């Protein structure tokens, strides 16, 4: 199959030594096997995520994503934009739709971009990596690359919010999307059936500003995974990953629980199943180690 | 009270709905709410809102300007988009809440000590400075946002999280000196300044 190329928007958390740098490591390993080439948008900037609204009005926020689109249009004119971060994907896709549907906003945005000699058309598809996997490659092809099936591992597919709403993945429902379970199955592992916190919120950015309220939500997400017999949780979102993984000690103290549940990315699972080493799969980036995956990767 | 606030009170005397429609992002949707309450029942932080979304919509129509804009309610939004996905009338509720929060803050009416307001403003300043988020500086700003003494306490409480992130190479002390940045910060700042200028000029027109 010919190499697939995309204009890539990695996002702040994927940078070296940032909170989702391990996600990027596993994405690179996964793409290597699938013959996907990610061409980084030159000089991309932050999208302002979901809490940019306090400091930035509508136009400044749209201008942030518009700058990225304009740079992508210049550097990779014929390639879809692909993001791995849920918030990056959502902010960029929202901007693309709003500019496309509102000619006045488009004009004002271009007026702002002109200050840096840029111009945006906003006519590209803005896609999440998961869409690339499902739509451009397909489960059969994804499964055919498996060298070490993840046999005997039970995994709760935590889809979360922003890869699911308001846009979601084509053909999936908001209340019970199945794609993550299907990916788990395709890698040879067992998905937790009826994981009832699959699309619940982890608090997002409010995990920082409202820790008690958010940790109450996170507790439910982890508890439901244990109830379903899960060995680990898998997610497509960097904020979900961090929130659900790193506060387990605090939650244990508050609620007298004994949580020690690894939380990995779909690309971590895929890298291991595709025969990559623990390091190449980003497993050294786990705060709570995913020992069952380390064992398979070490074989 | 800010000048802009005084001007807005003068301009939209007794018609807060009109004020929201003209000045708040996606505000023209407010009148479409049919008070079913699905949004409030779907919100992960629903119990913590002084006035859940459907109540906010009715209060806007009832002209409760001060109560709405000084409320901490909108700042409870986690941006989970559950309300948008479920609203039978298709209101972009998440965006309206963000818009109301932003407008309240611009008018100087948002509650000063609301933690998400403070954190979100630090986040914006952090990301616009160099074009990319500096996670370490953002975290420290968060810990120390309620003063030095409180900050030390928070930092101590959070040290296991920080240590875990550092050990797994997902946090770099190097971010304190410089850190990640785009190359064309000058261009980005020019874009953002122009965008703000355009938005303020539009608000001026309403004041006029």
> What is the full DSSP assignment across A137-188?
I-HHHHHHT-SS--TT-EEEE---STTTSSS--TT--SSS--HHHHHHHHTT
Residue B138 tokens, joined: 């953002």
Q: Residue A126: its pLDDT value, please?
A: 98
The yes/no answer on whether domain B3-112 falls in CATH 1.10.1060.10 is yes
Same domain, A156 and A96: no
The range of the structural domain enclosing residue A233 comes to 148-298
pLDDT band (50, 70, 90) for residue B176: confident
Chain B 92-121, CB below 8 Å of chain A: which residues? 94, 98-99, 101-102, 105-106, 115-121
Residue A118 has pLDDT above 50, yes or no: yes
What distance in Å separates the CA atoms of residue A129 and residue A266, rounded to the nearest whole number? 10
CB pairs under 8 A between A and B: 211
Residue A66 half-sphere exposure, CB side, CA atoms within 13 Å?
Answer: 32
Chain A residues in contact with B191 (beta carbon < 8 A): 63, 67, 112-113, 115-116, 118
d(CA A61, nearest CA chain B) in Å: 8
Phi, psi dihedral angles at A35 (to 5 degrees): 60, 40
Contact B106 A57 (CB under 8 A): yes
Which residues are CB-contacts of A210 (< 8 A; sequence separation ≥ 6)?
Answer: A203, B45, B76, B115, B116
pLDDT band (50, 70, 90) for residue B148: confident
Residue B1 has pLDDT above 80, yes or no: no
- Give the residue from A53, A67, A207 with the most B CB atoms within 10 Å of its CB, the best one to mutate: A53
Same domain, A118 and A156: no
Nearest CB to B123: which of A51, A57, A247? A51
Q: Residue B208: its pLDDT value, please?
A: 45
Task: Find out whether A247 and A3 touch, Cβ atoms under 8 Å.
Answer: no
In a domain, A143, yes or no: no
Average pLDDT over chain B, rounded to an integer: 93
* For range B100-120, the mean pLDDT: 96
Residue A110 half-sphere exposure, CB side, CA atoms within 13 Å?
Answer: 13
Residue A11 maps to which CATH number? 1.20.1050.140
Same domain, A84 and A186: no
Nearest CB to A46: which of B45, B120, B131? B131
Chain B 3-22, CB below 8 Å of chain A: which residues? none
- Collapsing DSSP states into helix, strand and coil, what is residue A53? helix
What's the total number of domains in chain A? 2
pLDDT band (50, 70, 90) for residue A1: low
Same domain, A153 and A74: no
How big is the CA angle at A293 (ends A288 and A297), to the nearest 5 degrees? 130
Q: Does B82 touch chain A (CB under 8 A)?
A: yes
Chain B residues in contact with A12 (beta carbon < 8 A): 127, 132-133, 135, 180
Same domain, A104 and A194: no
Q: What is the pLDDT of residues A37-50, one digit of tens each?
A: 999 999 999 999 99
Residue A268 maps to which CATH number? 3.40.50.11810
Residue A200 half-sphere exposure, CB side, CA atoms within 13 Å?
Answer: 22
Same domain, A13 and A114: yes
pLDDT band (50, 70, 90) for residue B206: low
Domain boundaries, chain B: 3-112, 115-195
What distance in Å separates the CA atoms of residue B60 and residue B190, rounded to the nearest whole number? 35
Q: What is the pLDDT of residues B48-97, one digit of tens each?
A: 999 999 999 999 999 999 999 999 999 999 999 999 999 999 999 999 99
Which residues are CB-contacts of A159 (< 8 A; sequence separation ≥ 6)?
Answer: A177, A179, A180, A198, A199, A235, A236
């Amino acid at each position: 199959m010919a190499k697939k190329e995309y204009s890539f928007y990695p996002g702040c958390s994927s940078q070296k030594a940032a909170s989702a740098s391990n996600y990027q490591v596993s994405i690179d390993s996964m793409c290597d096997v699938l013959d996907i080439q990610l061409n980084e948008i030159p000089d991309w900037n932050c999208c302002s995520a979901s809490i940019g609204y306090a400091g930035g009005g509508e136009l400044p926020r749209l201008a942030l994503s518009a700058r990225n689109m304009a740079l992508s249009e210049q550097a990779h004119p014929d390639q879809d934009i692909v993001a791995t971060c849920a918030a990056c994907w959502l902010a960029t896709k929202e901007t693309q739709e709003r500019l496309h549907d509102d000619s006045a906003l488009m004009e004002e945005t271009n007026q702002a971009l002109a200050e840096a000699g840029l111009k945006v058309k906003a006519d590209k598809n803005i896609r999440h990596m998961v869409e690339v996997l499902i739509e451009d490659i397909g489960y059969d092809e994804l499964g055919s690359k498996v060298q070490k099936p993840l046999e005997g591992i039970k995994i709760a597919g935590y889809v979360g919010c922003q890869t699911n709403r308001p846009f979601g993945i084509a053909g999936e429902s908001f209340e019970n999307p199945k794609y993550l379970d299907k990916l788990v199955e395709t890698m040879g592992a067992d998905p937790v059936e009826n994981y009832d916190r699959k699309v619940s919120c982890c608090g997002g950015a409010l995990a920082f500003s409202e820790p008690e309220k958010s940790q109450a939500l996170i507790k439910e997400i982890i508890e439901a995974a244990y109830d379903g017999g899960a060995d680990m949780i898998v997610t497509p979102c960097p904020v979900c990953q961090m929130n659900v993984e790193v506060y387990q000690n605090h939650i244990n103290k508050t609620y007298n629980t004994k949580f020690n549940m690894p939380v990995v990315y779909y690309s971590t699972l895929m890298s291991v199943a595709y025969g990559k080493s623990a390091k190449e799969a980003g497993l050294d980036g786990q705060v709570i180690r995913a020992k069952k995956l380390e064992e398979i990767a070490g074989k | 009270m800010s000048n802009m606030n005084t001007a807005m009170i003068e301009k939209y005397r007794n018609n807060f709905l009109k004020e929201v429609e003209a000045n708040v992002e996606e505000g023209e949707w407010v009148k479409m709410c049919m008070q079913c309450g699905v949004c409030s029942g779907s919100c992960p932080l629903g119990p913590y809102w002084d006035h859940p979304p459907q109540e906010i919509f009715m209060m806007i129509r009832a002209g409760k300007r001060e109560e709405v804009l000084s409320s901490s309610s909108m700042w409870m939004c986690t941006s989970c988009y559950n309300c948008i996905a479920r609203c039978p009338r298709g209101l972009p509720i998440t965006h309206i809440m963000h818009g109301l929060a932003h407008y309240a803050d611009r008018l100087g009416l948002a509650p000063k000590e609301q933690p998400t307001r403070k954190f979100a403003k630090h986040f914006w300043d952090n990301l616009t400075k160099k074009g990319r988020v500096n996670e370490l500086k953002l975290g420290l700003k968060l810990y120390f946002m309620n003063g030095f003494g409180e900050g030390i306490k928070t930092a101590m409480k959070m040290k296991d999280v920080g240590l875990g992130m550092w050990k797994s190479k997902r946090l770099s002390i190097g971010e304190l000196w410089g850190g990640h940045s785009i190359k064309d910060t000058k261009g980005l700042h020019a874009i953002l300044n122009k965008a703000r200028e355009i938005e303020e000029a539009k608000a001026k027109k309403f004041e006029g």
